Structure 1
Amino acid sequence: MSDLQLDSQGRLRHFLTVEGLSREWLLKIMDTAESFGSVTYQKVKKVPLLRGKTVVNLFFETSTRTRTTFELAAKRLSADVLNLNVQVSATAKGESLLDTIRNLEAMSVDMFVVRHPDSGAAHFIARHVAPEVCVINAGDGRHAHPTQALLDVFTIRRHKPDFASLKVAIVGDILHSRVARSQIHALKTLGVPEIRVVAPRTLLPKAVESLGVVPYCELEAGIEGVDVILMLRLQKERMQGAFIPSEHEYYRSFGLTSARLARAKPDCLVMHPGPINRGVEIASEVADGVHSVILEQVSHGIAVRMAVMALVMGRAG
């Protein structure tokens, strides 16, 4: 995996997963994101790092936050951006994925930002693009969502910079979540000593302990004394069969309410990658409360994605 992501000089060639990337690389991305944070507050919200470059948002799944923040990130780096509507593109008419990539490459594209329902799709594209083209994984199947994980740990570091002292709970649909997998790898690499996954047994992967996490099947016990709670959305579009009795029953047992949040540390951070299902995963008073940094995650997503784009294009660091 690292051979695909890094070139022979150890520079970031593609950004496909946080798994296998070193702690130094994760810190470098976050430090670069810090340097881009001030761009948002400039009168002209642009820097010229990717001027003359063309970025294609190649989304085979619907998305709002991820696609929009990638688009804003590319534009703030002064790149030209093409958003490909795959539902009405040639792939919907039977053209193969590789043919689509080849045709776009013929238009002198420099970077693909790929979101796909199949695990491994971004890696497949990265193996077949021309040497001068970069690929960023914006989420593939159940496998990985690396920029989401990076913006999550970036947000945590803003409030709690000592990763080695943290207890983190990831709560919700662990089984179907690419976000959870990427979060676990990022947190482990950064030295978080205790990572808990909290979910009904039906939403925990088999042998989840092999990922270096501690599973809990009761929310109250799982968030007791933690510093950070990372809530997850129920991945209903990826569920085949009855994994929970009902959304009402799920909320009754695993919904994060103010009363349950009181079991965590008094300064606990509450996070969610969105979109939020209020009254299913989390109560509105928690989502909008003083512990919530959910909107910060969205803002930080732009800076983190700017950093990743700049680094894979060799224009930062």
Structure 2
Amino acid sequence: MVTTTWNRRHVISLADFQPDEYDTVLHTAASFREVLSRRTKKVPALQGQVVANLFFEPSTRTRSSFELAAKRLSADTLNFAPGTSSLTKGETILDTAKTYLAMGTDIMVIRHREAGVPLMIADEMDRLETRVGVFNAGDGLHEHPSQALLDLFTVCTLIDPDNPRLSLLKDKKIAIVGDILHSRVARSNIWSFTASGAEVHLAAPPTLLPKLFADFVNPDPTHRSASPFPLPRKLFLHWDLEPALRNADFVMTLRLQKERMTQHLLPSLREYHQRYGITRERLGLCQPDVKILHPGPVNRGVEISSELMDDPKLSLISQQVTSGVAVRMALLYLMGSGKNG
């Protein structure tokens, strides 16, 4: 296991992550990737600690990945199901969190459809002067830090499997295509990829990529998640797909989140695919060794063609899922490693 210095109790946003923190996560995840390749895949790093997965919103990949990561670290896990909880009887979210606190929880992994809920719970844990760490597993249209970190780990290990590090992406071109407006994954990836010195190009219809994203990496400094550590960031917006793809090293395509669309933002899925769908022909604009990412779940034939998604020479989608366990092991370890000593 690598020796690291980690001073964060909570991980709510990547807006204020520094390059050395990204490298700490990447190096620690690389160590756990090696652990996961062994016959015995468990380590006692968090033995005796309790990780509570409080998912107030449905999830498959993230929830399963966090649960497996905690078990691989020998932690005990508690899984919350809102449909069968006391929330149905009128209990508040904070009272639910305090219930898990009273059970001896050390780390809370929170997902909620409303932005700000993980931060609210983290603030309450601090107010109560607990040592509980809170991890944002996705909140509304705000952020999804662990997904962005596993995406970062996936592309960095592709370039240098033995020593993944942020600087590997300097001056690389990364295109993010799709429903930017509703994507918390895109927001977190903007922070992580631009921190590396990569050029990030966003492409989507104007209804799914408002001009406000032009100022995303320089937000209102009064906002809680605004970065207090300005970094040179390169972010570009396109309402046409071609300039975003031209000479791109990586292309990330995003799901159309129809469940979050309260207005008629697209003429039809067929027209969207014709203009913004990722196909083999369109990848001809990219670098010859371009690779494709998708955070899932995927609408096959809409944001990406099925044959591309299943092409192991182009697609990193399965590697993203595999990377998720190692990266979340790293995050849980870093948040909980100071509590056993």
TM-score range, shorter chain: over 0.9
> Hey, which bits of structure 1, 4+ residues long, moved more than 4 A?
none
Contact 1:45 1:76 in 2 (8 A): yes
- TM-superposition CA deviations, 1:89-148 (whole Å, max 9, x none): 111221001111111111111111000001111110000014211111100000000000
- Higher mean C-alpha displacement, 259-268 vs 204-213: 204-213
1:13 aligns with 2:9: yes
Alignment of 1:77-156 (within 5 A): 77-129=73-125, 130=128, 131-156=130-155
Which of 197, 201, 219 in structure 1 is aligned with 2:202?
197
Q: Does residue 218 of structure 2 align to residue 219 of structure 1?
A: no
Q: Could you say what secondary structure the match of 2:328 adopts? A: helix
Please give the alpha-carbon distance, in whole angstroms, between the structure 1 residues aligned to 2:188 and 2:122.
19
Q: Give the superposition deviation at 1:250.
A: 0.8
Instruction: Confirm whether residue 297 of structure 1 aligns to residue 341 of structure 2.
Output: no
Deviation at 1:234, TM superposition (A): 0.8
Q: Are positions 1:253 and 2:275 aligned together?
A: yes
Match of 1:183 among 189, 196, 199: 189
The percentage of counterpart residues that share the same residue type is 46
For residue 41 of structure 1, the aligned residue among 33, 37, 43 is: 37
Measured after TM superposition, the shift of residue 315 of structure 1 is 4.9
Encode CA deviations 1:34-58: one digit per residue, 9 max, x unaligned.
0000222221210000111111110
Q: What's 2:221 paired with? A: none
CA separation of 1:53 and 1:10: change in aligned 2, threshold 3 A: closer
Greater Cα shift, 294-303 or 33-42? 33-42
SS of structure 2 residue aligned to 1:21 = coil
In structure 2, distance between residues paired with 1:264 and 1:64:
32
**Larger displacement relative to structure 2 (206-215 or 273-282):** 206-215
Is residue 2:335 matched to residue 1:312? yes
CA shift at 1:88, angstroms? 1.5
Q: Report 1:275-294 matches (<5 A).
A: 275-289=297-311, 290-294=313-317
Residue 80 of structure 2 is aligned to residue 57 of structure 1: no
Q: How big is the shift at 1:254?
A: 0.8
Amino acid aligned to 2:278: L
Amino acid at match of 1:17: S
Does 1:22 find its partner at 2:22? no
Contact 1:195 1:214 in 2 (8 A): yes
Question: Is the Cα–Cα contact under 8 Å of residues 19 and 195 in structure 2 kept in the other structure?
Answer: yes
Unaligned runs of 5+ in 2: 161-167, 217-233
Match of 2:288 among 263, 266, 270: 266
Distance 2:292 2:338 in 1: 34
Q: SS of the residue aligned with 2:45?
A: coil
CA contact (8 A) 1:23 1:189 kept: yes
**Using a 3 Å threshold, how does the CA distance of structure 1 residues 255 and 141 change in structure 2: closer, same or farther?**
same
Q: CA deviation at 1:207?
A: 2.4
User: In the aligned structure 1, how far is the partner of 2:176 from the partner of 2:159?
Assistant: 17
Output the CA distance in 2 between the equivalents of 1:207 and 1:132: 37
Asked if 2 retains the 8 angstrom alpha-carbon contact of 1:251 and 1:281, the reply is yes
Q: 2:250 aligns with which of 225, 228, 244?
A: 228
In 1, are the aligned partners of 2:65 and 2:324 still within 8 Å (CA)? yes
Q: Gaps (5+ residues) in structure 1?
A: 1-8
TM-score, normalization: structure 2?
Answer: 0.87
SS of residue in 2 equivalent to 1:251: helix
- Counterpart amino acid of residue 195 in structure 1: V
Equivalent pair of 2:57/2:113 in contact (CA under 8 Å): yes
1:243 partnered with 2:265: yes
Q: CA RMSD in A?
A: 1.4
Alpha-carbon separation, structure 2, partners of 1:28 and 1:138: 19
Contact 1:49 1:315 in 2 (8 A): no
Alpha-carbon distance in 1 for matches of 2:123, 2:288: 47
| Residues 45 and 337, structure 2, Cα contact 8 Å, conserved in 1 | no
TM-score (norm 1): 0.94
